[in-house]
Structures are given as C-alpha cells and as structure tokens.
Structure 1
C-alpha cells in the first residue's frame, strides 16, 4: 500500500515551513564524512540542542548521526536525512555515492531527505541518476526532497557564474526536487534573476569560507533580500565560538525576528 503522496508531502512540507513567514533556516551537519569530525567541541547532541533552542527550522544529518542524538531535539525543528556522501580524500573529491535510502530515512523519523549533486564533475552522471532515483522514491512515499546543487569539476573555473548556477537549479527542478540549496552568485541582481526564475524555493548556501563570518552573514542577508526562501548554513554555525548566537542571527535574517528562547 502506497502513501497518499499529495497529502503526505504537503503535510511534511508544512512541518518544515511551520512558521507563519514560510522562511526556512536549515543547518546542514553532514560534513564529517567529507572532511572529518566537525561537530562543535566534539559533542553533536549538545550542538543540536543549541541549534534547536535558537531558532533553526531543520538540520541535515547522516543516518548514523541520527542514532546518536536525543530525539527531543526535534520537538521544535525538523530532521532531514542526507542520502549520499563522498570524502575529500578520494581521487575525485567531487564524487558523491548513495549511502542511505528514502525508506531508511523514514524509519529514522525523517521529515525530508537531501541529496548533493556536483554538476560538471567527472562523476556527474551517477550523481544525477541518483537524484532522479531518490525523487522517484520521494514521490512514492510523499517525502520532500532538498537538492544541494553545485557546479564543480576540473573544467569549471568559477562555479558561481549565473548561467551555470541557473542550469544546476534547472536540473534539480526538472528531476523533482521540492527545495534547492546552492551557492548563489553575486552581485544582488544576479541572485534576483536566478531566484525569480526557479519555480521551487531556493536556499542560499552559507559557503565554505568561514574566515570572515561578518562578510558571510552579509552575503546571506543579500540573498534573503534578493528573494531566497531561506538559508542553509552549516560551517558558519559549527565553527562559531557561539553556535547558538550565530543561529539566532541567521534566524533573524530568515524570519525577521529573534526567536523566542527555549523554556
């Protein structure tokens, strides 16, 4: 017996976008597979508590990490389970491989799933095929799909060029993604054009360079002002001296107000 896709997907999307302004602040914490242990002070559950208590709408975790955290962290935010991965140690650091399924994510209690695709990479074909397969499973089970779309590869000198980013987003939309995360180009007019022509919500990626958090927050503020539906920032949060304070700043950008502290 299959799930009623239309109702189930709408229900889970409402859970993700449960604030009245419909914005979305996602904190991806799937980086450890690619770059080694990154959880703040080595305590993932403590980090999740800070993220949940300060206004994040959702976090992205790999399946093993989900089993190591307190389920009470998800009283006030949603769980997105990430379905593919790759390491920076591989001969092709842009490669991504399936590591979990939609069914596994549902058994873990996920409200949505995510897939990372590096368009223009050497292994672009298998990555796009995996995105399409996941989209089919999401259609079957009524699960929202977040596609993390980047333009990366040996022939790509600048993956933020507007036409390249727009193409990557089109791939995600055409294959069935409900939400897309990407590194938006600058300046603001380029962001506006890309966001306006994408028929699904666009989340602005926090970016890999966190050496200047003030500049990163400024870029994200510009993205939100340019029409981005929200922010997906991981490194900016877990590398911060005070992750909770960083989440509060991001939540203010997305939702226009300071979240009410947890009681």
Structure 2
C-alpha cells in the first residue's frame, strides 16, 4: 500500500487490531433528516465519546457535523448518492470528487455500488474512476457493494456477498463493506476471497441490541475487520454505551455477553 494511503488508513482503523468501527451519517440524502441526524454536533459528539474510529458523511455535512473541539475522529467523505424519491433509487451517481474530499480534510473516501442494478455499468465505472484518482492522491477507498437488482433474489446469499467483496478487491478498493451473510462459516468464505479488509453493514434499524452485537461478534470471529453501521448506532437509545460495547467486541475480542456485562444495560 502507498505510504499516503497507509498513513491515512491508520486514521480510520485501530493500528493495533487492524479493525475499525465506522458510523455512516450519509442517510440524509437518501431519506432526509431522520431521527439521529438532526443535531449533527450532538450526534458526532456521542460517536466520538463512544470510541468509534471514523464517521462517514457527504461533503456538505462536514461543515455541520465534524469536530471543532475535543477528541478527533477519522473522516470519510462519501462520493456517491441517490434518493428514495427517485424511480431508480439503486442507481448511484457521483456527487463529489476525490480532490474535493481532500480539501475537506478527508482521511478516506467511499462510494456505493449496487451489483445487478440496471445502472451497474455506470457505478462500476465510478469505482474505476475514483480508484485512479485515489491512487494518485494516496487516499484510501471504502467501497460499499451490495447485490441489489432484478436478478438478485437474496442479497445476503453468501455467493453474492463474496462476489460483491471480490469486485471491490479487483477494482481497486482498500476496504469493502458488504452485508453479513447470517452465520460465521459462510462469512469466513467471503473474507477468504478478499485480500483487503471486509467490514459489515448494519441494514435496517433493529430493536434487538443483543442480536446486533452478536452479528458483529460473529463477523469478527469469521475474520471480518469490523463494521460500518449507521442507524443501529445513531438511532440507538444510548449510542455512547453501545459503541463502548462494540469497542470491546471489535477491538477487545469480548463476547457479546461479556461486553454487555461490562458496559451495563443496553
């Protein structure tokens, strides 16, 4: 890995565990100012105090939500977008460049690709374009890749998830984000097919905190590099305590039960 990418990667990963806890806050473009994303200073403050490694947001939100006091946190600027108001919400388009992200102080950039969507070719082209620019500037890429489209019966199918991760590897990503396959045995095969870190997505907001923590625990046991999860963290009743439990699981290799016992009621 280039020295610039390696140095910046350490700002979004724990250098001792080589794992990460990323909290995406980019949902406002897709669905609007949902609960948890109105007071961005408060939201990011809770995430920092909980001990996350990085936040992820669109370029315009950096001025509203990134740090002006206290402990710093890694910044990933998201480059692609679509809205749920569109007749084609799965078709992501580039709305920011690598160069813009660097001027904002980004430690990494990210983009979203839906394999199987009618606009897949365009989104793959975006990854190729971003990969070239990111290599020139020495900034890491997080590729969020999902199997979503007319031919995809189940986006959590281990073969589809493994294919998504491998696309990220082969087209130049430095970290890939994919859905969890549901159990560690199949997810370990996803990780085995990737020579870059694989982090899991959180999916829709779930009411069961323990199940969420157990999913993270299993993914780490299977060789995963952590998580990139938004709503299940920033919409939680106590994001700071939840992140403390996640830190114990991801970076401390605690079991879910031991982590909950350590931090208290969740």
User: So what's the TM-score if we normalise by structure 2?
Assistant: 0.91
Find out whether 1:186 has 2:182 as its counterpart: yes
Residue in structure 1 matching 2:81, options 85, 91, 115: 85
In the alignment, which residue of structure 1 is the partner of 2:52?
56
Are 1:164 and 2:164 counterparts? Answer: no
Let me know the Cα RMSD of the aligned residues: 1.8
Query: What is the distance in 2 between the residues matched to 1:41 and 1:7?
Result: 34
Measure how far apart 1:163 and its partner are. 1.1
How far is 1:154 from its partner? 2.1
Q: Look up the SS of the partner of 2:68 in the other structure.
A: helix
The farther-off stretch of 201-210 and 132-141 is 201-210
User: In the alignment, is the contact (CA less than 8 A) between 1:49 and 1:73 conserved in 2?
Assistant: no
Aligned residue for 2:106, secondary structure, equals: coil
Aligned position for 1:127: 123
Cα drift, residue 254 of structure 1 = 0.8
Gaps of at least 5 residues in structure 1 are none
Q: Paired residues, what number?
A: 255
**Deviation readout 1:107-127 (Å, 9 max, x if unpaired):** 000000001101101111111
Q: Report whether the alignment pairs 1:173 with 2:173.
A: no
Paired with 1:32 and 1:251, the residues of 2 have a C-alpha distance of: 26
Question: What is the match of residue 226 of structure 2?
Answer: 230
Q: 1:107 aligns with which of 94, 97, 103?
A: 103
- Correspondence 1:28 to 2:45: no
The answer on whether the counterparts of 2:50 and 2:239 sit within 8 Å (CA) in structure 1 is no
**Where does structure 1 differ by over 6 angstroms across 4 or more consecutive aligned residues?**
none
Select the structure with the greater relative contact order (CA < 8 A; seq sep ≥ 6).
1
- For 2:215, the equivalent position in structure 1 comes to 219
Note the C-alpha offset of 1:73. Answer: 5.9
Q: Which blocks of at least 5 consecutive residues in structure 2 are unaligned?
A: none
